[in-house]
Amino acid sequence: MRITAVLGMILGLGLAVPQCFAADRAPVRIGVMAPVTGEWASEGQDMVNVVRLLAEELNKNGGAGGRLIEIEVGDDGGDPKTAALAAQRLVSAGVAAVIGTYGSAVTEASQDIYADDDVLQIGTGSTSIRLTEKGLPLFFRTCPRDDDQGRVMARHIKALGFKKAALVHDNSSYARGLAEEVRALFDDQSVAVVFYDAITPGDRDYSTTLTKIKTLNPDLIIFTGYYPEAAMLLRQKKEMAWEVPMIGGDATNNLALVDIAGRESAKGYYFISPPGPSDLTGEMSEAFMAEYQARFKTLPSSVWAVMAGDAFKVLALAIENVDQPTGANLARYLHNDLKDFVGFTGPIAFNEKGDREGDVYRLYQVDAEGRFVLIP
């Protein structure tokens, strides 16, 4: 009895899900798949804020080529299984394209679902190499790839003259991938890797690991994980009164790093990243950041949310320039016709794999005031 009642309820709801609609110059739905809840909730919420704000602005000015843009948010919870459902949900809602998401493993779980339904997807924070090596014609990303990053990181480490490094990752898909890239580039013994292991993300106390590394006496610690752990490492390194320099990857490009570590501990920390929200130059970026600041009282905390903004920009352009906003049409435009477009994070064009072309990585260092300073 009860089961039947529940079934009926679910059935009713299922029927109530709106069907897709497609008419000429009709509004276009764009999905944002982002970790709005869960561990990466702050990244996800920033992504949604950025895209919503841009869509509002665009619609106020008449939309993309006369089409209004409707934003549909799908919460992936930072988890592959939830992401698969979120993707199904966005497909059901009739989106033409999807922006997102942050984590590579999460994006991976959704790729097939979008591909099966002719929905274009633009990844925004998923830097894992594999994602664009599968030959999916409708997948793009506005973020760069881990191998780019590894190359740039290894080059800078060599240029800065370090010889003996401890390489630490956190066993996440991203951090491990980057660590392996970098280690492979040191195979020529240009830099000796004296320590290679993974810390557990979410722990608070890394002094054990730091003590262990210290006995090996490296002249550099490379950490390829995310900012919370990088900050804890910096802080506890300082507490041990150990002054070894540290370098990290783009997932540490987050203003919270300095808050957590404290200025004194963060001073001198290097990282490789595309330009962060506060370094974006150009009239468009500055105006948008000012508006974002006015609306949400803070800047997006990392560059990945801005990458979602770039994804929206290129999508809007594509929608404006195609007859029918289908996945295939939009993809054709992005592959072939998108040239010389300048987004928030610099020029954007896509190669045949859907990867972003050009070199976006830069070397940064934290100064005594806790600012991220671009090192030319």
Task: Enumerate residues 6+ apart whose C-beta is below 8 A from 277.
Answer: 289, 299, 300, 301, 302, 303, 305, 306
Determine the longest span between alpha carbons in the chain, in angstroms: 74
Instruction: Name which of 122 and 257 has its Cβ closer to another protein.
Output: 257
Torsion of CA 235, 237, 240, 243, to 10 degrees: -120
User: Binding to another protein (CB under 8 A): which residues in 91-130?
Assistant: 91-93, 105, 108-109, 112, 116-117, 128, 130
What does the per-residue mask of binding to another protein show for 321-360, with x meaning CB under 8 A? ----------------------------------------
| Binding window for another protein (CB under 8 A); candidates: 57-65, 201-209, 280-288, 319-327 | 201-209
User: Binding to another protein (CB under 8 A): which residues in 57-76?
Assistant: 73, 75
For residues 169-179, b (16+ Cβ closer than 10 Å) or e, as one string? bbebbbbbbbb
Q: Work out how close the CB of 326 gets to another protein at its nearest, in angstroms, rounded to a whole number.
A: 18
Tell whether residue 176 is a contact of another protein (CB under 8 A). yes
> What values do phi and psi take at 189, rounded to 5?
65, 15
| Binding window for another protein (CB under 8 A); candidates: 9-17, 152-160, 272-280, 355-363 | 9-17
| Binding window for another protein (CB under 8 A); candidates: 12-20, 144-152, 288-296, 340-348 | 12-20
How far apart CA 137 and CA 259 sit, in angstroms, is 41
How far apart CA 266 and CA 51 sit, in angstroms, is 31
Q: How many residues bind another protein (CB under 8 A)?
A: 74
Please give the single-letter amino acid code of residue 15.
Answer: L
C-alpha R_g of the chain: 22
User: Binding to another protein (CB under 8 A): which residues in 244-283?
Assistant: 256, 259-265
Instruction: Name which of 199 and 319 has its Cβ closer to another protein.
Output: 199
| Binding window for another protein (CB under 8 A); candidates: 13-21, 139-147, 157-165, 217-225 | 13-21
Instruction: Name which of 160 and 194 has its Cβ closer to another protein.
Output: 194
Q: Secondary structure of the chain: what % helix, strand, coil (to 5)? A: 45, 20, 35
Tell whether residue 26 is a contact of another protein (CB under 8 A). no
